[in-house]
Structure 1
C-alpha cells in the first residue's frame, strides 16, 4: 500500500516522455559505498534529464510481522509520511507538491520502500524530506487511527473480490506456518490488536541505517550524493541488525483443496504450490519455462489451450513469485461455474505436458526474444532504475546483472526448460482453491 502526492503533472508527463532514452543496460555501472553508520548507498549518474530519484529500501516487511499482529510492517510504512516530529502530514504533502515532486511509501513481504522524485534543483529538499520521514516519524495517535480505519476499509473491499479471496486462501495453504501466509495488510483481527506502541517498537527495531539501501539515480554526481547522504543521514546512529528467520516454507505433502461458497456465475480458481527464491540458480531457466507455460500472454500454452481452444476463460496466467525466501507458483483464472472441472483438468494437463516433453524451438525462441527484448523497458525511467538497482543490491545479484541478464536468458536450452519444469512443477501435490457457486461447479478435483 502506498500514499502518493503528485503535482505538476504536465511537467512530469513531458519529462517521462523524454526519459525514454535511458542508458543501455550494459552501460549501467553504478557506484556503491557503505556509510560509517552501515547504510548502503548506490549512485547512478544520468545527466540527460534534470530529475533525481531518491529511493530507499528498508530490509523489513510483512515477513517480520508477529503472527498475532500481521499487518504491522505495512501499517508502520503507511505512517511514515503521515507526520514527523517536525512536520505534519499536510506540511510534507505541501512541500513536495510545491516543487512538483512525488513521494511514495510502500511495504511488501520482504522489504519496504520510501522514495522521493524531484527536479535537480530540489535534490536537497528531496533528501531532507526522505531523511526526516525515515528517522523522525511521529506516529501520531490520530493519524494511526485514521490510517488503520482506511486499511480496514480496503480489506472490506478486498473481501468482495473473489480473486483476492481465492489468493488469500491459497497463501494460507501453501505457506502454512510460515510468515508469508498472511496478507500484507494483515486481517481484521490482527490489525485490531496493533497499538501505536507496537508500531513504535517495530520501527525502533527494524528502521536502522544498516537495514537501508539508499539508491540515487539521476542528474547528480557521486560526490554530491556522498555529501547529501552525510548531511542528512550521517547522524543516524548505527544499531545491531535484528534477528532474522529465513527458514523455507514447508512443501505440500499432498493435494489440498479448499472450496469457498460465493453466489457467483463464475468460479475463481487458483492452483499451485511452493516456488523458488530470487537467488535460485535456476531462476532464469524457470523464467523462460514459465513464459512458455502461462506468463507469455496470448503466446502461452495455458492461454492457447484454456482460452483459445476450449473457450473456458477470458484470461489465464501462471506466476513464480520469487522472494527472499521461496515464494509460490500459481495459476489463476475465472471460468463459468459449469466448466470449473474442465478448466482444472486442462490446467493440470498443461502442467504435465511441459514436464513430459521438450518445448518446441519456436516456443523457446519466442520466449527468449520477448524476455531479452522487454528487459530495457524495466529500466526506462529513473524511478524504475532506482527500484531495480535497490533490489539487485538487496538480493546480492551483483551489478553485472544489467549486462548479463540477456546472456543468462539466451543460455537457457530446451533441456533446461524441461528439467526445471520437472523439478519445480508438481501436478500431483498442489493447493487448489475455488471460490464460487459450489452447487453448480461441483468440483471433483
Structure 2
C-alpha cells in the first residue's frame, strides 16, 4: 500500500489530492489543509489563527455549538479544526456509512460557521485560561522565551496561542476576515483515505469545496533566527529548579538534499535520548539533569537547532557550560564510527513503525509533497542513510559550526 498524489479541479483551481484506499477497516478520513494559513500570517493579532480554528469548532450558525456537537456525537463523527504555524487544518473522520453525514455537517459549518459574539466570548475565555495555565508551566515559559529570543521582531516571537493582550483585542470582524482570506481554494489541498474508491473520494471532495471562494494563495514567508547569541533569564520565585532552553541558527531550508545527514547528526547529538552525546555527558557522566535533548526544526518558515534540560538551581552554570562543551566538541571532532552505526541501525530498523497506519502513510506523502520532494523520497533517503560514510557525515557536521552560536532562555529562581 502507498499513498498517491493526484489533482482535482474546482472552479478553475487545480487542487492537490493525496489519497490511499484501505479497506481493512470500514472508516474514511479527510483533511482539508490550508497552506500559509497559520499563525505566520495573522499579522499583529497574535493568536488569531488559533482563535479562528476554535471558533470553527463551535459548530454552525444553524445548529449552534451544542446542537452541532450532538449531531456529531450521535453518529460518532470526529470533526475538528486546528491552526499551527504554517497551516490551518480541518479534519473529518467517521465510519464509512456515516461519512456522507459528516460531509454534510462540515459543509454546513463552512457555509455558515457559528461566528457570533457569544461564541467569541467563550473562545476568548478558554484561551485566556489556557494562557494562564501555561504561565505556571516553566517548561512552556522557557520554550516560548527561546522562540522570542531567536526570532525577535518577527511573528514567530509570539506563541501561537497569542498573549492575553492580543487575544482580548481580537474582534468578530478579525475572525471573519481571517477565515475569508485564508480558507479558500487557492490555499487548500486534500488528504483523504480509507474504505473508499479514488473516484468517489474525488467527487465528494469536489462537491464539498465548490462553495469556497477562489481567493488568492498566501505567499510563502521565511524567518531567519538570530545569529548573534543572546541570553534571557526569567526569574520565577516559585521554581525549585532551573530550566535551560538553548537554540541557534542552522543553515538549511526545507527540502535540502542533505537533510538525511542532519537526521543522523542530530540523532547522535541529542534527539535519541539515552546514548546521545548530550544525555551521556549531562546525565550519565555528571548527573546534572534527568534528561537532556536537542533537535533540528526544519520548516518552510524557519529552521533552527534547539535543546533543553532541567537541572538543580546550584548546577545551572555547570549545566550551561557542559552544553557548550558538548556542542563544541561535536562540531570540532564529529562522530565516531560506532555512533554512526548505531544511528543508522535505529533509523533503518524503525522505518516500519513510521508507516504502519493509514494516517502515517498519508502524512508522509503530504510531507513529501509539501517539501517539494518526489513521492517515495523517504525510501530514497533511507538508502542515502544506509550508504552514508563517516567522512561524509563529519564533513557535514564541520560545515555547520553555526550551531555553536547558542542563545539561551533560562527560567530560574
TM-score by length of 2: 0.93
Q: For residue 340 of structure 2, what is the aligned residue in structure 1?
A: 364
User: Cα distance 1:343–1:300, how it changes in 2: closer, same or farther (>3 A)?
Assistant: same
3-state SS of 2:311 partner: strand
Question: How far apart in 2 are the matches of 1:331 and 1:211?
Answer: 33
Q: For residue 443 of structure 1, what is the aligned residue in structure 2?
A: none
Give the conservation status (yes or no) of the 8 Å contact 1:31–1:222: no
Question: How far apart in 1 are the matches of 2:329 and 2:107?
Answer: 52
Deviation at 1:79, TM superposition (A): 1.3
User: Cα distance 1:336–1:47, how it changes in 2: closer, same or farther (>3 A)?
Assistant: same
Give the one of 223, 232, 247 matched to 1:258.
232
Question: How far apart in 1 are the matches of 2:154 and 2:399?
Answer: 22
Q: For residue 34 of structure 1, what is the aligned residue in structure 2?
A: 8
Q: For residue 221 of structure 2, what is the aligned residue in structure 1?
A: 246
Deviation at 1:245, TM superposition (A): 5.3
Indicate yes or no: 2:84 matched with 1:126: no
Deviation at 1:427, TM superposition (A): 5.7
Quick check: 132-141 or 210-219, which moved more?
Answer: 132-141
Superposed CA offset, 1:257-306 (max 9, x none): 11111122210001111234322222211111001000001121111111
Give the one of 66, 69, 84 matched to 2:43.
66
Give the conservation status (yes or no) of the 8 Å contact 1:30–1:45: no
Superposed CA offset, 1:174-214 (max 9, x none): 11222221101011111111101001011111110121111
What pairs up with 1:317-396 in 2 under 5 angstroms? 317-396=293-372
Quick check: 57-66 or 389-398, which moved more?
Answer: 389-398
Q: Provide structure 1 residue ranges, at least 5 long, that are not aligned to the other structure.
A: 1-22, 438-445
Give the conservation status (yes or no) of the 8 Å contact 2:266–2:295: yes
Quick check: 28-37 or 112-121, which moved more?
Answer: 28-37
User: Cα distance 1:132–1:406, how it changes in 2: closer, same or farther (>3 A)?
Assistant: farther
Question: How far apart in 2 are the matches of 1:215 and 1:334?
Answer: 39
Q: For residue 192 of structure 2, what is the aligned residue in structure 1?
A: 216
Deviation at 1:120, TM superposition (A): 1.5
Indicate yes or no: 2:286 matched with 1:286: no
Give the conservation status (yes or no) of the 8 Å contact 2:187–2:216: no
Give the conservation status (yes or no) of the 8 Å contact 1:96–1:102: yes
Q: CA RMSD in A?
A: 1.9
Give the conservation status (yes or no) of the 8 Å contact 2:8–2:202: no
Give the conservation status (yes or no) of the 8 Å contact 2:270–2:295: yes
Give the one of 61, 85, 90 matched to 1:114.
90
User: Cα distance 1:109–1:423, how it changes in 2: closer, same or farther (>3 A)?
Assistant: farther
Question: How far apart in 1 are the matches of 2:349 and 2:68?
Answer: 40
Give the conservation status (yes or no) of the 8 Å contact 1:293–1:354: yes
Give the conservation status (yes or no) of the 8 Å contact 1:62–1:110: yes
Q: For residue 30 of structure 2, what is the aligned residue in structure 1?
A: 54
Question: How far apart in 1 are the matches of 2:381 and 2:403?
Answer: 30
Quick check: 379-388 or 351-360, which moved more?
Answer: 379-388
Indicate yes or no: 2:292 matched with 1:316: yes
3-state SS of 1:70 partner: coil
Give the conservation status (yes or no) of the 8 Å contact 1:169–1:433: yes
Question: How far apart in 2 are the matches of 1:128 and 1:416?
Answer: 54
Give the conservation status (yes or no) of the 8 Å contact 1:53–1:386: no
Q: For residue 186 of structure 1, what is the aligned residue in structure 2?
A: 162
Deviation at 1:428, TM superposition (A): 4.5
Give the conservation status (yes or no) of the 8 Å contact 1:158–1:165: yes
Question: How far apart in 2 are the matches of 1:235 and 1:222?
Answer: 21
Superposed CA offset, 1:29-63 (max 9, x none): 41411323323222111122212111121111011
Question: How far apart in 2 are the matches of 1:31 and 1:245?
Answer: 22
Q: Provide structure 2 residue ranges, at least 5 long, that are not aligned to the other structure.
A: none
Question: Number of residue pairs matched?
Answer: 408
User: Cα distance 1:198–1:315, how it changes in 2: closer, same or farther (>3 A)?
Assistant: same
Q: For residue 271 of structure 2, what is the aligned residue in structure 1?
A: 295
Give the conservation status (yes or no) of the 8 Å contact 1:99–1:122: yes
3-state SS of 1:297 partner: coil
Deviation at 1:435, TM superposition (A): 0.6
User: Cα distance 1:172–1:239, how it changes in 2: closer, same or farther (>3 A)?
Assistant: same
